[in-house]
C-alpha cells in the first residue's frame, strides 16, 4: 500500500511528530482548481503542515474530504463559499496561497487575465487583510506582476501591510530553467538550481546562467525562449484546457516548504517577487531576486549580483517591461482597488 510517509520519509515525519510540532496552518484559496487540488495534496504530504484549510467558490469541501483520508497527521478542513467560511479558512493561517483565478487560453497573454483576476485577488486580499493580517501571502494568480501590487495596496488600505510577508510565487520559472538545463547538460536535475530574476511574464523572466555551473548557456537563444515562454509552451500543448497546473503545484508546495523550513533553519534562499528596494529609484516597486527567508518572511533581499553584458541587456528589457506594468498599475481600473 502506498504510504504517504514514503513521500517525505518516515524518519522525517516521525521527527516532526516526536517534537512538539508548532502549529502551521496553511490555507489555499482556489483549492479546487487545477493548481489548487494537486497543491493541496502536496501540502497534505508535508509533515511541517499541521492544519490545512481549503477554500474555493466551488468544490472546497469535496477536495478537503478526499485529501483528509491521506494518512498523514495534518488536519484538513474544507470551507463553504461564504464570507464566514472564508473568514474561518483564513483565521490563524501562517501561510495563505492564492491560486484562485482564471488561466490563459492559447493566444492570450497573462495580462489578458488582469480584469478578471484583479477583482478575485482584490476581494481575497481584503478578506486576508481582515482575517489573517500577519500571514505570509503567496500569490500564484496571474498576472503575478500586477496581482502582487494589488494585494499590497489592499493591505496598505487596511493598515496591515508588511512587505516582508508578501510573495509573488515565481518558483516555477526556477523549476523550469533548472530542468531544461539538466536536460541539455545531462546532469541530475537535483544538482541544478538556476537563479531567475525579474518578474513572471515573457521578457521579465530573466534566468542568470552565468551564475550557474553552466555559464556557457548564456546566449543559448532556444533555452532562453523556453524559460521565458515555458508557460506558453504548456498553454499551447493544453490547447484550451488551461495552463500549467501540476508543475505549478509542485513549485508552490516547494516555496511553502521553504518558508516553513526557514522558521527554524537559516540560509533558506528562494528567488521570489517581492516589494524590493533594488529598482525603486527606477519606479519599480516589485522585483524577483534571491531572497533569504526566515521566521519573519523576507529576511534579506539579495541584489542581482555579477552578470554578463548579455544578461544585463535582458535585465534592461525586463526593467522596461516592469516599469510599464507599474505605470499601468497607477491607472488601475477602479474595480481593481
Ligand atoms: N505563478 C505562476 O507561476 C502560475 C503558474 C500557473 C498558473 N498560474 C495562474 O494560477 C491561476 C489559477 O490557475 P488554474 O489552472 O488553477 O485555474 P483553475 O480555473 O483550474 O482554478 C482556479 C480556481 O480558483 C477558483 N476561484 C475563482 N474565484 C475564486 C474566489 N473568488 N475565491 C476562491 N476561489 C476562486 C475557481 O473556482 C477554481 O477552482 C491562473 O491565474 C493562472 O494563470 C500562475
Ligand atoms: O503561463 C501561464 O499562463 C501560467 C503560468 O504563469 C506559467 O508560467 O505556467
What is the CATH number that goes with domain 170-330? 3.90.110.10
Q: Which of 279, 117, 144, 277 is nearest to 202 (CA)?
A: 144
Check residue 324 and give its pLDDT.
Answer: 87
Distance CA(101)–CA(112), nearest Å, equals 12
- Does residue 14 carry a pLDDT above 70? no
Active site residues: 200
Q: Is 230 annotated as a binding residue?
A: no
- Does residue 233 carry a pLDDT above 70? yes
Reported confidence tier of residue 153, pLDDT bands at 50, 70, 90: very high
Measuring from each residue's beta carbon to the nearest atom of ligand 2, which residues come in under 6 Å? 103-104, 110, 142, 172, 200, 230-231, 234-235, 243-244
Q: What percent of the chain has pLDDT over 70?
A: 90
Ligand nearest to the CA of 205: 2
Distance CA(65)–CA(46), nearest Å, equals 17
Distance 120 CA to ligand 1 centre (A): 10
Distance CA(225)–CA(203), nearest Å, equals 9
For the domain made up of 24-168, the CATH class stated in words is alpha beta
Distance 41 CA to ligand 2 centre (A): 20
Q: Is 108 annotated as a binding residue?
A: no
Give the ligand 2 atom nearest the CA of 142: 6
Check residue 1 and give its pLDDT.
Answer: 39
For the chain, the helix, strand and coil percentages under 3-state DSSP, each to the nearest 5: 50, 15, 35
Reported confidence tier of residue 335, pLDDT bands at 50, 70, 90: very low
When mean pLDDT is compared across 22-26, 40-44, 256-260, 279-283, the lowest value belongs to 22-26
- Does residue 3 carry a pLDDT above 70? no
- Does residue 326 carry a pLDDT above 80? no
Find the length of the chain. 337
Check residue 10 and give its pLDDT.
Answer: 61
- Does residue 328 carry a pLDDT above 60? no
Check residue 89 and give its pLDDT.
Answer: 98
Domain locations in the chain as residue ranges: 24-168, 170-330
Ligand nearest to the CA of 113: 1
pLDDT digits (tens, 9 = 90+) for 181-198: 999 999 999 999 999 999
* Count of beta carbons in the 10 Å neighbourhood of residue 246: 14
Q: Is 141 annotated as a binding residue?
A: yes
Give the ligand 1 atom nearest the CA of 100: 24
Check residue 325 and give its pLDDT.
Answer: 77
Q: All 3 cell numbers of residue 40?
A: 493541496
3-state secondary structure 126-141: HHHHHHCCCCEEEECC
Reported confidence tier of residue 331, pLDDT bands at 50, 70, 90: very low
Q: What percent of the chain has pLDDT over 90?
A: 89
Across the chain, what does the average pLDDT equal? Answer: 93
Distance 319 CA to ligand 1 centre (A): 26
Residue with cell 526557514: 262
User: What backbone phi and psi angles, to 5 degrees, belong to 250?
Assistant: -65, -45
Q: Is the CB of 72 under 6 A from ligand 1?
A: no
Structure-model confidence comparison of residues 301 and 18, the more confident one = 301
Distance 103 CA to ligand 2 centre (A): 8
- Does residue 4 carry a pLDDT above 70? no
Q: Is the CB of 70 under 6 A from ligand 1?
A: no
Ligand nearest to the CA of 100: 1
pLDDT digits (tens, 9 = 90+) for 114-142: 999 999 999 999 999 999 999 999 999 99
Reported confidence tier of residue 12, pLDDT bands at 50, 70, 90: low
Q: Is 266 annotated as a binding residue?
A: no
- Does residue 336 carry a pLDDT above 60? no
Residues in a beta bridge with 301: 291
Check residue 43 and give its pLDDT.
Answer: 98
pLDDT digits (tens, 9 = 90+) for 135-150: 999 999 999 999 999 9
Q: All 3 cell numbers of residue 192?
A: 541544478
Reported confidence tier of residue 16, pLDDT bands at 50, 70, 90: low
Strand blocks (E) in 30-100: 51-55, 75-79, 95-98
User: What would the mean pLDDT of 266-284 be, rounded to a whole number?
Assistant: 97
Q: Is 31 annotated as a binding residue?
A: yes
Distance 46 CA to ligand 2 centre (A): 24
Distance CA(74)–CA(44), nearest Å, equals 7
Q: Give the three-state DSSP class for 6.
A: helix
- The pTM (predicted TM-score) of the whole model is 0.94
- Cα separations in angstroms, 79 against 44, 51, 76: 16, 13, 10
Amino acid at each position: 500500500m502506498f504510504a504517504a510517509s514514503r513521500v517525505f520519509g518516515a524518519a522525517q515525519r516521525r521527527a516532526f511528530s516526536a517534537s512538539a510540532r508548532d502549529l502551521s496552518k496553511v490555507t489555499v484559496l482556489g483549492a479546487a482548481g487545477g493548481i489548487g487540488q494537486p497543491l493541496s495534496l502536496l501540502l497534505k504530504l508535508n509533515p511541517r503542515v499541521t492544519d490545512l484549510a481549503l477554500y474555493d467558490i466551488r468544490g472546497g469541501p469535496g477536495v478537503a474530504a478526499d485529501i483528509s483520508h491521506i494518512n498523514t497527521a495534518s488536519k484538513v478542513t474544507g470551507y463553504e463559499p461564504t464570507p464566514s467560511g472564508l473568514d474561518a479558512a483564513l483565521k490563524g493561517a501562517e501561510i495563505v496561497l492564492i491560486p484562485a483565478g482564471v488561466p490563459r487560453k492559447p493566444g492570450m497573454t497573462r495580462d489578458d487575465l488582469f480584469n478578471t483576476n484583479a477583482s478575485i485577488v482584490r476581494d481575497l486580499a481584503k478578506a486576508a487583510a481582515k482575517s489573517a493580517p500577519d500571514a505570509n501571502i503567496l500569490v500564484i494568480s496571474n498576472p503575478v506582476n500586477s496581482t502582487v501590487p494589488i494585494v499590497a495596496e489592499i493591505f496598505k488600505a487596511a493598515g496591515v501591510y508588511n512587505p516582508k510577508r508578501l510573495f509573488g510565487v515565481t518558483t516555477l520559472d526556477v523549476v523550469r530553467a533548472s530542468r531544461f538545463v539538466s536536460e541539455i547538460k545531462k546532469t541530475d536535475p537535483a544538482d541544478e538550481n538556476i537563479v531567475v530574476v525579474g518578474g513572471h511574464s515573457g521578457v521579465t523572466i530573466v534566468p542568470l546562467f552565468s551564475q550557474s555551473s553552466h555559464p556557457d548557456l548564456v546566449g543559448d537563444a532556444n533555452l532562453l525562449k523556453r524559460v521565458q515562454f515555458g508557460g506558453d509552451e504548456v498553454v499551447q500543448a493544453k490547447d484550451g484546457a488551461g495552463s500549467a497546473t501540476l508543475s505549478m503545484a509542485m513549485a508552490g508546495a516547494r516555496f511553502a516548504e521553504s518558508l516553513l523550513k526557514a522558521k527554524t533553519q537559516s540560509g533558506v534562499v528562494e528567488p521570489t517577487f517581492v516589494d524590493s528596494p533594488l529598482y525603486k529609484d527606477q519606479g519599480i516597486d516589485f522585483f524577483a531576486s534571491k531572497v533569504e527567508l526566515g521566521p519573519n518572511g523576507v529576511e534579506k533581499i539579495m541584489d542581482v549580483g555579477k552578470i554578463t553584458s548579455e544578461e544585463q541587456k535582458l535585465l534592461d528589457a525586463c526593467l522596461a517591461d516592469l516599469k510599464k506594468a507599474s505605470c499601468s498599475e497607477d491607472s488601475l481600473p477602479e474595480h481593481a482597488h
